[in-house]
Amino acid sequence: MNAQLKKTIDRYMTGARMFPWREAIPRMFADLLMVNLSAVLAMAMYYAMSVGPLHRDPTEITTALRACVARYWWMWSLFALISFHLAGFYTRTRGYIGKHKNQVILRAVSIFIVGLMLVDYFLSSGRSISGWVALLSWIMTLATVGGSRLAKDIFLEFYDLKPKDRMGRRKVERVLVVGGAGYLGSTLVPLLLNRNYRVRVLDSLMFGDASLKAVRHHPNFELRIGDVRDIEAVVGAMKSCDAVIHLAAIVGDPACDENKPLAAEINRAATRMLIDIARGFGVQRFLFASTCSVYGACDYLVDEHTAPAPLSVYAHTKVDSENLLLESADDNFTTCILRMGTLFGLSPRLRFDLVVNLLTGRAATIGKITVFNGQQWRPFVHVKDAARAFILALETNPAVVSKQIFNVGDYNLNYQLSQVSETIAQIVPTVEVQHVENSDHRNYRVSFDKIHTRLGFVSEMTLENGIREIYEAILSDGIHDVSATEFSNLAVVKALSQNGISKHSKLQRLHLLAELDGAA
Protein backbone atom coordinates (compact mmCIF):
# COMPACT_ATOMS: atom_id res chain seq x y z
CA MET A 1 0.00 0.00 0.00
CA ASN A 2 1.55 3.30 -1.08
CA ALA A 3 1.81 6.26 1.31
CA GLN A 4 -0.81 8.38 -0.46
CA LEU A 5 -3.44 5.61 -0.34
CA LYS A 6 -2.68 4.96 3.33
CA LYS A 7 -3.06 8.67 4.09
CA THR A 8 -6.41 8.77 2.29
CA ILE A 9 -7.67 5.70 4.18
CA ASP A 10 -6.50 7.16 7.51
CA ARG A 11 -8.32 10.40 6.74
CA TYR A 12 -11.60 8.63 6.00
CA MET A 13 -11.23 6.47 9.11
CA THR A 14 -10.69 9.58 11.21
CA GLY A 15 -13.75 11.16 9.62
CA ALA A 16 -15.79 8.05 10.44
CA ARG A 17 -14.69 8.21 14.08
CA MET A 18 -15.64 11.89 14.28
CA PHE A 19 -19.09 11.32 12.75
CA PRO A 20 -21.86 11.80 15.38
CA TRP A 21 -23.25 8.26 15.05
CA ARG A 22 -25.28 8.29 18.25
CA GLU A 23 -27.25 11.36 17.18
CA ALA A 24 -27.33 10.56 13.46
CA ILE A 25 -28.64 6.97 13.50
CA PRO A 26 -32.12 7.84 14.87
CA ARG A 27 -32.35 10.63 12.29
CA MET A 28 -31.35 8.26 9.51
CA PHE A 29 -33.93 5.73 10.64
CA ALA A 30 -36.63 8.44 10.71
CA ASP A 31 -35.63 9.61 7.22
CA LEU A 32 -35.84 6.05 5.88
CA LEU A 33 -39.37 5.72 7.25
CA MET A 34 -40.41 9.04 5.72
CA VAL A 35 -38.81 8.30 2.34
CA ASN A 36 -40.54 4.92 2.09
CA LEU A 37 -43.82 6.40 3.33
CA SER A 38 -43.53 9.11 0.68
CA ALA A 39 -42.92 6.49 -2.03
CA VAL A 40 -45.95 4.46 -0.93
CA LEU A 41 -48.16 7.55 -0.80
CA ALA A 42 -46.94 8.65 -4.22
CA MET A 43 -47.74 5.24 -5.67
CA ALA A 44 -51.19 5.25 -4.01
CA MET A 45 -51.94 8.63 -5.54
CA TYR A 46 -50.71 7.41 -8.92
CA TYR A 47 -52.94 4.34 -8.58
CA ALA A 48 -55.97 6.52 -7.80
CA MET A 49 -55.24 8.76 -10.79
CA SER A 50 -54.74 5.82 -13.16
CA VAL A 51 -57.73 3.76 -12.10
CA GLY A 52 -60.07 6.73 -11.71
CA PRO A 53 -59.72 9.51 -14.33
CA LEU A 54 -57.57 7.43 -16.74
CA HIS A 55 -59.65 4.23 -16.39
CA ARG A 56 -56.64 1.91 -16.58
CA ASP A 57 -56.74 -1.74 -15.54
CA PRO A 58 -56.37 -1.87 -11.71
CA THR A 59 -54.66 -5.27 -11.84
CA GLU A 60 -52.05 -4.02 -14.31
CA ILE A 61 -51.32 -0.92 -12.22
CA THR A 62 -51.09 -2.93 -8.99
CA THR A 63 -48.68 -5.43 -10.56
CA ALA A 64 -46.46 -2.64 -11.92
CA LEU A 65 -46.33 -0.82 -8.57
CA ARG A 66 -45.53 -4.00 -6.64
CA ALA A 67 -42.72 -4.77 -9.08
CA CYS A 68 -41.35 -1.25 -8.64
CA VAL A 69 -41.35 -1.54 -4.84
CA ALA A 70 -39.78 -5.01 -4.90
CA ARG A 71 -37.06 -3.90 -7.27
CA TYR A 72 -36.22 -0.45 -5.91
CA TRP A 73 -37.10 -0.15 -2.20
CA TRP A 74 -33.54 -0.92 -1.08
CA MET A 75 -32.08 1.30 -3.79
CA TRP A 76 -34.09 4.42 -2.96
CA SER A 77 -33.49 3.84 0.76
CA LEU A 78 -29.72 3.66 0.27
CA PHE A 79 -29.65 6.47 -2.26
CA ALA A 80 -31.71 8.71 0.06
CA LEU A 81 -29.29 8.21 2.96
CA ILE A 82 -26.29 8.93 0.72
CA SER A 83 -27.90 12.05 -0.76
CA PHE A 84 -28.99 13.38 2.62
CA HIS A 85 -25.62 12.67 4.22
CA LEU A 86 -23.73 14.44 1.44
CA ALA A 87 -26.09 17.40 1.86
CA GLY A 88 -25.08 17.53 5.54
CA PHE A 89 -28.41 16.49 7.07
CA TYR A 90 -26.68 14.66 9.91
CA THR A 91 -23.75 17.01 10.48
CA ARG A 92 -23.37 20.59 9.32
CA THR A 93 -26.97 21.54 8.43
CA ARG A 94 -28.51 20.61 11.77
CA GLY A 95 -28.19 24.20 12.95
CA TYR A 96 -29.44 25.80 9.73
CA ILE A 97 -32.51 27.99 9.85
CA GLY A 98 -34.74 29.88 7.43
CA LYS A 99 -34.01 30.04 3.73
CA HIS A 100 -30.64 28.29 4.11
CA LYS A 101 -32.32 25.16 5.47
CA ASN A 102 -35.04 25.34 2.80
CA GLN A 103 -32.44 25.51 0.03
CA VAL A 104 -30.47 22.54 1.38
CA ILE A 105 -33.59 20.40 1.78
CA LEU A 106 -34.87 21.27 -1.71
CA ARG A 107 -31.49 20.53 -3.27
CA ALA A 108 -30.98 17.24 -1.42
CA VAL A 109 -34.45 15.84 -2.16
CA SER A 110 -34.22 16.92 -5.80
CA ILE A 111 -30.83 15.24 -6.23
CA PHE A 112 -32.22 12.10 -4.61
CA ILE A 113 -35.20 11.87 -7.01
CA VAL A 114 -33.23 12.83 -10.14
CA GLY A 115 -30.51 10.31 -9.25
CA LEU A 116 -33.11 7.59 -8.78
CA MET A 117 -34.61 8.37 -12.18
CA LEU A 118 -31.20 8.20 -13.82
CA VAL A 119 -30.52 4.80 -12.24
CA ASP A 120 -33.89 3.55 -13.48
CA TYR A 121 -33.17 4.88 -16.96
CA PHE A 122 -29.88 2.99 -17.22
CA LEU A 123 -31.27 -0.21 -15.69
CA SER A 124 -34.64 -0.41 -17.44
CA SER A 125 -34.78 2.53 -19.87
CA GLY A 126 -37.10 4.39 -17.49
CA ARG A 127 -39.89 1.82 -17.63
CA SER A 128 -40.04 0.93 -13.92
CA ILE A 129 -40.56 4.39 -12.39
CA SER A 130 -42.98 6.62 -14.27
CA GLY A 131 -42.56 10.36 -14.42
CA TRP A 132 -45.75 10.85 -12.40
CA VAL A 133 -44.56 8.59 -9.61
CA ALA A 134 -41.23 10.44 -9.51
CA LEU A 135 -42.95 13.85 -9.38
CA LEU A 136 -45.34 12.75 -6.65
CA SER A 137 -42.48 11.15 -4.71
CA TRP A 138 -40.54 14.41 -4.91
CA ILE A 139 -43.51 16.38 -3.54
CA MET A 140 -44.24 13.87 -0.78
CA THR A 141 -40.58 13.57 0.27
CA LEU A 142 -40.30 17.35 0.50
CA ALA A 143 -43.46 17.34 2.60
CA THR A 144 -42.29 14.61 5.01
CA VAL A 145 -38.49 14.92 5.22
CA GLY A 146 -38.47 18.69 4.80
CA GLY A 147 -41.69 19.37 6.65
CA SER A 148 -40.55 17.55 9.79
CA ARG A 149 -37.38 19.63 9.96
CA LEU A 150 -39.11 22.94 9.30
CA ALA A 151 -41.85 22.08 11.79
CA LYS A 152 -39.19 21.59 14.45
CA ASP A 153 -37.78 25.07 13.76
CA ILE A 154 -41.25 26.63 13.93
CA PHE A 155 -41.97 24.83 17.20
CA LEU A 156 -38.71 25.95 18.79
CA GLU A 157 -39.24 29.52 17.59
CA PHE A 158 -42.89 29.64 18.76
CA TYR A 159 -42.13 28.33 22.25
CA ASP A 160 -38.84 30.27 22.50
CA LEU A 161 -36.79 27.12 23.11
CA LYS A 162 -33.57 28.52 21.67
CA PRO A 163 -30.38 27.88 23.64
CA LYS A 164 -30.08 30.23 26.60
CA ASP A 165 -27.18 31.25 28.75
CA ARG A 166 -28.20 29.56 31.98
CA MET A 167 -25.18 30.74 33.93
CA GLY A 168 -26.31 34.37 34.19
CA ARG A 169 -22.94 35.62 33.05
CA ARG A 170 -21.99 39.24 33.28
CA LYS A 171 -21.81 41.36 30.18
CA VAL A 172 -18.48 41.30 28.33
CA GLU A 173 -16.88 44.71 28.84
CA ARG A 174 -13.10 44.29 28.72
CA VAL A 175 -11.55 42.23 25.93
CA LEU A 176 -7.93 41.10 25.86
CA VAL A 177 -6.60 40.80 22.30
CA VAL A 178 -3.43 38.74 22.37
CA GLY A 179 -1.40 39.67 19.30
CA GLY A 180 -3.46 42.81 18.74
CA ALA A 181 -0.73 44.70 16.85
CA GLY A 182 -0.60 42.21 14.01
CA TYR A 183 -2.26 42.09 10.60
CA LEU A 184 -5.66 40.94 11.86
CA GLY A 185 -5.39 42.36 15.37
CA SER A 186 -4.75 45.94 14.26
CA THR A 187 -7.90 45.70 12.12
CA LEU A 188 -10.00 44.13 14.89
CA VAL A 189 -9.05 46.49 17.74
CA PRO A 190 -10.61 49.66 16.23
CA LEU A 191 -13.83 47.74 15.51
CA LEU A 192 -14.02 46.61 19.15
CA LEU A 193 -13.43 50.15 20.36
CA ASN A 194 -16.17 51.43 18.04
CA ARG A 195 -18.56 49.00 19.74
CA ASN A 196 -17.66 50.48 23.15
CA TYR A 197 -15.57 47.59 24.44
CA ARG A 198 -12.63 48.31 26.69
CA VAL A 199 -9.73 46.77 24.80
CA ARG A 200 -6.41 45.64 26.19
CA VAL A 201 -3.72 44.44 23.78
CA LEU A 202 -0.88 42.12 24.75
CA ASP A 203 1.78 42.09 22.05
CA SER A 204 5.56 41.76 21.89
CA LEU A 205 5.54 44.34 19.06
CA MET A 206 7.58 41.99 16.92
CA PHE A 207 6.48 44.11 13.94
CA GLY A 208 6.56 47.47 15.75
CA ASP A 209 3.75 49.60 17.18
CA ALA A 210 2.88 51.73 14.16
CA SER A 211 -0.18 49.60 13.45
CA LEU A 212 -1.82 50.83 16.69
CA LYS A 213 -1.05 54.51 16.16
CA ALA A 214 -4.67 55.41 15.35
CA VAL A 215 -6.02 53.98 18.65
CA ARG A 216 -3.11 54.67 20.98
CA HIS A 217 -4.83 57.60 22.72
CA HIS A 218 -8.34 56.17 22.79
CA PRO A 219 -9.69 56.29 26.38
CA ASN A 220 -10.80 52.63 26.26
CA PHE A 221 -7.53 51.32 24.81
CA GLU A 222 -4.60 49.89 26.76
CA LEU A 223 -1.37 48.39 25.42
CA ARG A 224 0.67 45.85 27.38
CA ILE A 225 4.02 45.11 25.79
CA GLY A 226 4.98 41.52 26.54
CA ASP A 227 5.75 38.08 25.17
CA VAL A 228 2.89 35.59 25.05
CA ARG A 229 5.37 33.04 26.45
CA ASP A 230 5.98 35.21 29.54
CA ILE A 231 3.68 34.08 32.35
CA GLU A 232 4.07 37.35 34.25
CA ALA A 233 3.06 39.39 31.22
CA VAL A 234 0.09 37.13 30.52
CA VAL A 235 -1.12 37.21 34.13
CA GLY A 236 -0.87 41.00 34.24
CA ALA A 237 -2.77 41.39 30.98
CA MET A 238 -5.47 38.85 31.86
CA LYS A 239 -6.61 40.52 35.11
CA SER A 240 -10.17 41.93 35.03
CA CYS A 241 -10.80 40.76 31.44
CA ASP A 242 -14.11 39.18 30.49
CA ALA A 243 -13.03 37.72 27.13
CA VAL A 244 -9.85 36.76 25.30
CA ILE A 245 -9.27 36.84 21.55
CA HIS A 246 -6.11 34.85 20.89
CA LEU A 247 -4.43 35.95 17.64
CA ALA A 248 -0.77 35.65 18.66
CA ALA A 249 1.09 33.20 16.44
CA ILE A 250 3.93 32.67 14.05
CA VAL A 251 1.67 32.80 11.00
CA GLY A 252 2.25 30.97 7.74
CA ASP A 253 4.03 27.82 6.62
CA PRO A 254 7.38 29.43 5.63
CA ALA A 255 7.65 31.45 8.86
CA CYS A 256 6.97 28.38 11.03
CA ASP A 257 9.40 26.23 9.04
CA GLU A 258 12.09 28.85 9.56
CA ASN A 259 12.05 28.34 13.34
CA LYS A 260 10.04 25.29 14.37
CA PRO A 261 10.86 25.45 18.13
CA LEU A 262 9.68 29.07 18.26
CA ALA A 263 6.51 28.15 16.34
CA ALA A 264 5.83 25.27 18.75
CA GLU A 265 6.24 27.57 21.76
CA ILE A 266 4.11 30.46 20.52
CA ASN A 267 1.50 28.60 18.49
CA ARG A 268 0.89 25.64 20.77
CA ALA A 269 2.52 25.67 24.22
CA ALA A 270 1.64 29.31 24.93
CA THR A 271 -1.99 28.54 24.06
CA ARG A 272 -2.13 26.01 26.88
CA MET A 273 -0.78 28.58 29.31
CA LEU A 274 -3.26 31.21 28.13
CA ILE A 275 -6.16 28.77 28.66
CA ASP A 276 -5.07 27.90 32.20
CA ILE A 277 -4.61 31.53 33.21
CA ALA A 278 -7.88 32.61 31.59
CA ARG A 279 -9.83 29.95 33.45
CA GLY A 280 -8.07 30.90 36.69
CA PHE A 281 -9.18 34.52 36.30
CA GLY A 282 -12.77 33.57 35.46
CA VAL A 283 -12.64 34.71 31.83
CA GLN A 284 -15.98 33.91 30.21
CA ARG A 285 -15.07 33.64 26.53
CA PHE A 286 -12.00 32.52 24.66
CA LEU A 287 -11.94 32.97 20.87
CA PHE A 288 -9.11 31.38 18.91
CA ALA A 289 -7.81 32.25 15.45
CA SER A 290 -7.18 29.07 13.46
CA THR A 291 -6.87 28.42 9.74
CA CYS A 292 -8.59 26.52 6.94
CA SER A 293 -5.20 25.09 6.03
CA VAL A 294 -5.80 22.45 8.73
CA TYR A 295 -7.82 20.61 6.04
CA GLY A 296 -4.68 20.03 3.97
CA ALA A 297 -5.23 18.91 0.36
CA CYS A 298 -8.70 17.75 -0.59
CA ASP A 299 -10.62 17.51 -3.87
CA TYR A 300 -14.09 17.81 -2.34
CA LEU A 301 -15.91 20.52 -0.38
CA VAL A 302 -14.76 20.43 3.25
CA ASP A 303 -16.71 21.60 6.28
CA GLU A 304 -16.25 21.73 10.04
CA HIS A 305 -16.93 17.98 10.34
CA THR A 306 -14.16 17.08 7.90
CA ALA A 307 -11.24 15.48 9.69
CA PRO A 308 -8.20 17.80 9.76
CA ALA A 309 -5.24 16.64 7.70
CA PRO A 310 -2.52 19.24 8.37
CA LEU A 311 0.44 19.24 6.00
CA SER A 312 2.65 21.85 7.67
CA VAL A 313 4.09 22.77 11.05
CA TYR A 314 1.81 25.82 11.11
CA ALA A 315 -1.35 23.76 10.52
CA HIS A 316 -0.26 21.08 13.01
CA THR A 317 0.21 23.64 15.79
CA LYS A 318 -3.24 25.10 15.05
CA VAL A 319 -4.92 21.68 15.24
CA ASP A 320 -3.17 20.97 18.55
CA SER A 321 -4.33 24.32 19.96
CA GLU A 322 -7.88 23.66 18.75
CA ASN A 323 -7.94 20.38 20.64
CA LEU A 324 -6.74 22.10 23.81
CA LEU A 325 -9.56 24.66 23.51
CA LEU A 326 -12.27 22.07 22.87
CA GLU A 327 -11.14 19.97 25.84
CA SER A 328 -11.10 22.95 28.22
CA ALA A 329 -14.62 24.28 27.54
CA ASP A 330 -17.32 23.99 30.19
CA ASP A 331 -20.45 25.85 31.34
CA ASN A 332 -18.34 28.68 32.75
CA PHE A 333 -15.72 28.87 29.99
CA THR A 334 -16.95 29.36 26.43
CA THR A 335 -14.41 28.50 23.74
CA CYS A 336 -14.90 29.13 20.03
CA ILE A 337 -12.56 28.41 17.12
CA LEU A 338 -12.58 30.44 13.91
CA ARG A 339 -10.84 28.78 10.98
CA MET A 340 -10.09 31.55 8.56
CA GLY A 341 -9.60 31.41 4.85
CA THR A 342 -6.48 33.03 3.38
CA LEU A 343 -6.58 36.67 4.44
CA PHE A 344 -6.11 39.59 2.06
CA GLY A 345 -6.67 43.33 1.99
CA LEU A 346 -5.42 46.51 3.60
CA SER A 347 -4.56 46.59 7.29
CA PRO A 348 -2.68 49.04 9.54
CA ARG A 349 0.05 46.36 9.66
CA LEU A 350 0.40 45.66 5.95
CA ARG A 351 1.60 42.25 4.76
CA PHE A 352 2.83 41.30 1.31
CA ASP A 353 3.45 37.62 2.07
CA LEU A 354 -0.22 36.73 1.52
CA VAL A 355 -1.03 35.51 -1.97
CA VAL A 356 -3.52 38.22 -3.05
CA ASN A 357 -1.50 41.04 -1.49
CA LEU A 358 1.77 39.66 -2.86
CA LEU A 359 0.53 39.24 -6.42
CA THR A 360 -1.07 42.68 -6.34
CA GLY A 361 2.13 44.18 -4.96
CA ARG A 362 4.29 42.61 -7.65
CA ALA A 363 1.85 43.62 -10.35
CA ALA A 364 1.95 47.23 -9.14
CA THR A 365 5.72 47.47 -8.61
CA ILE A 366 7.31 45.33 -11.33
CA GLY A 367 4.39 44.76 -13.69
CA LYS A 368 4.77 40.97 -13.64
CA ILE A 369 3.30 38.17 -11.54
CA THR A 370 4.02 34.44 -11.49
CA VAL A 371 1.29 31.94 -10.66
CA PHE A 372 2.34 28.39 -9.80
CA ASN A 373 -0.03 25.85 -11.36
CA GLY A 374 -3.16 27.98 -10.95
CA GLN A 375 -5.99 25.44 -10.99
CA GLN A 376 -6.01 24.88 -7.23
CA TRP A 377 -8.86 26.28 -5.18
CA ARG A 378 -8.31 28.44 -2.11
CA PRO A 379 -10.79 30.09 0.28
CA PHE A 380 -10.16 33.81 0.76
CA VAL A 381 -11.54 36.33 3.24
CA HIS A 382 -10.83 40.04 3.64
CA VAL A 383 -9.09 40.98 6.88
CA LYS A 384 -11.95 43.35 7.80
CA ASP A 385 -14.51 40.58 7.35
CA ALA A 386 -12.38 38.24 9.47
CA ALA A 387 -12.38 40.87 12.22
CA ARG A 388 -16.18 41.17 11.94
CA ALA A 389 -16.47 37.40 12.38
CA PHE A 390 -14.68 37.61 15.73
CA ILE A 391 -17.07 40.30 16.92
CA LEU A 392 -20.06 38.18 15.88
CA ALA A 393 -18.68 35.20 17.80
CA LEU A 394 -18.00 37.44 20.79
CA GLU A 395 -21.55 38.80 20.85
CA THR A 396 -23.52 35.65 20.00
CA ASN A 397 -25.26 33.65 22.73
CA PRO A 398 -22.59 31.47 24.40
CA ALA A 399 -24.78 28.38 24.03
CA VAL A 400 -24.61 28.81 20.24
CA VAL A 401 -20.83 29.17 19.91
CA SER A 402 -19.42 27.20 22.84
CA LYS A 403 -17.10 24.35 21.74
CA GLN A 404 -17.92 25.21 18.13
CA ILE A 405 -15.68 25.53 15.07
CA PHE A 406 -16.59 27.97 12.31
CA ASN A 407 -15.01 28.30 8.88
CA VAL A 408 -14.71 32.03 8.19
CA GLY A 409 -15.25 33.12 4.60
CA ASP A 410 -17.80 33.13 1.82
CA TYR A 411 -18.65 30.87 -1.11
CA ASN A 412 -18.12 33.85 -3.43
CA LEU A 413 -14.50 33.96 -2.29
CA ASN A 414 -13.57 30.36 -3.13
CA TYR A 415 -11.21 31.15 -6.02
CA GLN A 416 -8.77 29.32 -8.22
CA LEU A 417 -5.33 30.93 -8.18
CA SER A 418 -5.54 31.59 -11.92
CA GLN A 419 -8.78 33.52 -11.31
CA VAL A 420 -6.98 35.66 -8.73
CA SER A 421 -4.28 36.60 -11.24
CA GLU A 422 -6.89 37.40 -13.90
CA THR A 423 -8.76 39.67 -11.51
CA ILE A 424 -5.54 41.50 -10.60
CA ALA A 425 -4.73 41.98 -14.30
CA GLN A 426 -8.13 43.63 -14.79
CA ILE A 427 -7.45 46.19 -12.04
CA VAL A 428 -3.71 46.84 -12.30
CA PRO A 429 -2.79 48.07 -15.82
CA THR A 430 -0.18 46.45 -18.08
CA VAL A 431 0.50 43.32 -16.05
CA GLU A 432 2.24 40.26 -17.45
CA VAL A 433 0.94 37.00 -15.96
CA GLN A 434 3.26 33.98 -16.11
CA HIS A 435 2.04 30.48 -15.25
CA VAL A 436 4.58 27.96 -13.98
CA GLU A 437 3.96 24.29 -13.16
CA ASN A 438 5.44 22.74 -10.03
CA SER A 439 4.76 19.77 -7.74
CA ASP A 440 2.56 21.65 -5.25
CA HIS A 441 -1.03 20.84 -6.19
CA ARG A 442 -2.66 21.36 -2.79
CA ASN A 443 -6.30 22.06 -3.39
CA TYR A 444 -9.31 22.68 -1.15
CA ARG A 445 -12.69 24.39 -1.23
CA VAL A 446 -14.45 25.22 2.00
CA SER A 447 -18.08 25.24 3.12
CA PHE A 448 -19.21 28.36 5.00
CA ASP A 449 -22.82 27.32 5.60
CA LYS A 450 -22.39 27.04 9.35
CA ILE A 451 -21.16 30.59 9.96
CA HIS A 452 -23.70 31.98 7.46
CA THR A 453 -26.65 30.38 9.20
CA ARG A 454 -25.69 30.30 12.88
CA LEU A 455 -23.95 33.67 13.12
CA GLY A 456 -25.50 35.39 10.10
CA PHE A 457 -22.04 36.17 8.74
CA VAL A 458 -21.69 37.22 5.10
CA SER A 459 -18.53 38.74 3.62
CA GLU A 460 -18.90 42.42 2.76
CA MET A 461 -15.58 42.86 0.96
CA THR A 462 -14.92 41.30 -2.45
CA LEU A 463 -11.65 40.19 -3.98
CA GLU A 464 -11.80 43.25 -6.23
CA ASN A 465 -12.16 45.53 -3.17
CA GLY A 466 -9.04 44.10 -1.60
CA ILE A 467 -6.94 44.23 -4.76
CA ARG A 468 -7.96 47.81 -5.48
CA GLU A 469 -7.22 49.11 -1.97
CA ILE A 470 -3.80 47.40 -1.91
CA TYR A 471 -2.97 48.85 -5.33
CA GLU A 472 -4.04 52.34 -4.28
CA ALA A 473 -2.05 52.09 -1.02
CA ILE A 474 1.10 51.16 -2.95
CA LEU A 475 0.66 54.19 -5.21
CA SER A 476 -0.20 56.65 -2.44
CA ASP A 477 2.50 55.48 -0.01
CA GLY A 478 5.18 55.14 -2.66
CA ILE A 479 5.97 51.51 -1.86
CA HIS A 480 8.62 50.23 -4.26
CA ASP A 481 9.77 47.00 -2.60
CA VAL A 482 7.02 44.64 -1.43
CA SER A 483 9.67 42.10 -0.34
CA ALA A 484 10.96 44.41 2.41
CA THR A 485 11.35 42.83 5.87
CA GLU A 486 8.59 44.93 7.44
CA PHE A 487 5.98 43.38 5.10
CA SER A 488 6.90 39.71 5.61
CA ASN A 489 6.38 37.36 8.56
CA LEU A 490 9.11 35.08 7.26
CA ALA A 491 11.68 37.89 7.02
CA VAL A 492 10.96 39.09 10.56
CA VAL A 493 11.16 35.57 12.02
CA LYS A 494 14.47 35.04 10.24
CA ALA A 495 15.86 38.24 11.75
CA LEU A 496 14.62 37.35 15.23
CA SER A 497 15.98 33.81 14.96
CA GLN A 498 19.42 35.18 14.14
CA ASN A 499 19.19 37.28 17.32
CA GLY A 500 18.37 34.19 19.38
CA ILE A 501 14.85 35.28 20.32
CA SER A 502 13.61 31.68 20.46
CA LYS A 503 16.09 30.94 23.25
CA HIS A 504 14.98 33.76 25.52
CA SER A 505 11.59 32.49 26.72
CA LYS A 506 11.13 33.32 30.39
CA LEU A 507 9.23 30.06 30.80
CA GLN A 508 11.79 27.34 30.35
CA ARG A 509 9.06 24.80 31.04
CA LEU A 510 7.41 25.87 27.81
CA HIS A 511 10.39 24.50 25.92
CA LEU A 512 9.85 21.13 27.57
CA LEU A 513 6.08 21.36 27.04
CA ALA A 514 6.55 22.08 23.35
CA GLU A 515 8.93 19.14 22.99
CA LEU A 516 6.60 16.77 24.84
CA ASP A 517 3.63 17.86 22.74
CA GLY A 518 5.66 17.44 19.57
CA ALA A 519 6.63 13.91 20.56
CA ALA A 520 3.05 12.94 21.44
d(CA 408, CA 341): 6
Residue-wise pLDDT tens digits, 356-411: 998 998 888 888 888 777 677 788 999 999 999 999 999 998 888 888 999 999 88
The amino acid present at 128, given as its one-letter code, is S
Distance in angstroms (rounded) separating the CA atoms of residues 257 and 164: 43
- pTM equals 0.72
In SS3 terms, 302-315 reads as ECCCCCCCCCCHHH
Cα→Cα distances 375→173, 426, 436, Å: 46, 19, 11
pLDDT in tens, 77-124: 888 888 888 777 776 665 555 666 777 788 888 888 888 788 777 766
Where do the DSSP E strands lie in 132-283? 174-178, 198-203, 221-225, 243-246
Q: Residues 340, 390, 246, CA angle at the centre, nearest 5°?
A: 80
State the virtual CA torsion across 60, 65, 66, 72 in degrees, nearest 10: 140
- Tell me what pLDDT residue 116 has: 78
Contact 306/294 with Cβ under 8 angstroms? no
Please check whether residue 270 is in contact with residue 317, taking contact to mean a CB–CB distance below 8 angstroms: no
Domains of the chain: 19-158 (no CATH), 174-519 (3.40.50.720)
In this prediction, residue 40 carries a pLDDT of 78
Q: What is the pLDDT along the chain (520 residues), one digit of tens a residue?
A: 565 566 556 655 655 555 667 777 888 888 888 888 888 787 777 767 766 565 566 676 677 667 767 777 777 788 888 888 877 777 666 555 566 677 778 888 888 888 878 877 776 665 556 677 778 888 888 888 877 777 776 665 555 445 555 444 568 899 999 999 999 999 999 999 999 999 999 998 888 889 999 999 999 999 999 988 888 888 999 998 999 999 987 776 667 776 777 777 777 788 888 999 998 888 999 999 999 888 887 777 888 888 888 888 888 888 989 999 998 888 889 999 999 999 999 999 888 888 899 899 888 888 888 877 767 778 899 999 999 999 999 999 888 888 899 999 988 888 888 888 889 989 988 888 887 776 665 667 788 888 988 888 989 999 999 999 999 999 888 887 777 767 766 666 666 656 655 554 554 444 444 444 444 4
